[in-house]
Amino acid sequence: MSFNNPLDTLYRQVIMDHYKNPRNRGVLEDENVEINMNNPTCGDRVHLTMKVEDGKIVDAKFEGEGCSISMSSASMMTQAIKGKTIEEALALSQIFSDMMQGKEYDDSVDLGDIEALQGVSKFPARIKCATLVWKAMEKGLHSQE
């Protein structure tokens, strides 16, 4: 990955900040959604817990082991979905998936720090790292429907 321009450098700093100082790391005691997923290709694993009430994600936490991409994605995702409805979180997941696949996506949605992961789409082997926790969230939320 080349970091020749200032935007690439900023994005790398955002990813490393979430990796070194993860937000929402831990396990919820009063969760009603719990999902374990792993990526057997590289060994990344994530344990996602969420509290969903009245169709809204009240809280979300994660634990796991993996590369900086997977763990920073988990940190960013848990921040982004708190307070969102199930539908909003799933729509955000679709936008993220499109971004990872290099497809056009709804850029009217403020992705915040998540946008820093956009460069991962240029590295097919790393896309699964970034999307692991998002797939866990989708699986968990679909279990609530």
Question: Which two three-digit tokens encode residue 16?
Answer: 């490393």
Query: 């994660």: which residue's tokens?
Result: 62
117 contacts 67 by C-beta, under 8 angstroms? no
Q: Which DSSP letter does residue 47 get?
A: E
For residue 45, CA distances in Å to 13, 31, 106, 115, 135 come to 23, 19, 29, 22, 12
DSSP 2: -
Beta-carbon neighbour count of residue 4 at 10 Å?
Answer: 7
78-92 pLDDT, tens digit per residue, is 999 999 999 999 999
The mean pLDDT of the chain is 92
Name residue 31's amino acid. Answer: E
Tell me the whole-structure pTM to 2 decimals.
0.92
Distances (CA, A) of 71 to 42, 85, 94, 109: 13, 23, 19, 23
Return all residues near 104 (Cβ < 8 A) that are at least 6 apart: 98
Domain 6-142 = CATH 3.40.50.1970: no
Tell me the domain boundaries of the chain: 6-142
pLDDT by residue (tens digit) across 10-66? Answer: 678 999 999 999 999 999 999 999 999 999 888 999 999 999 999 999 999 999 999
- Rounded mean pLDDT, 103-116: 90
Residue 93 has pLDDT above 70, yes or no: yes
pLDDT for residue 1 is more than 60: no
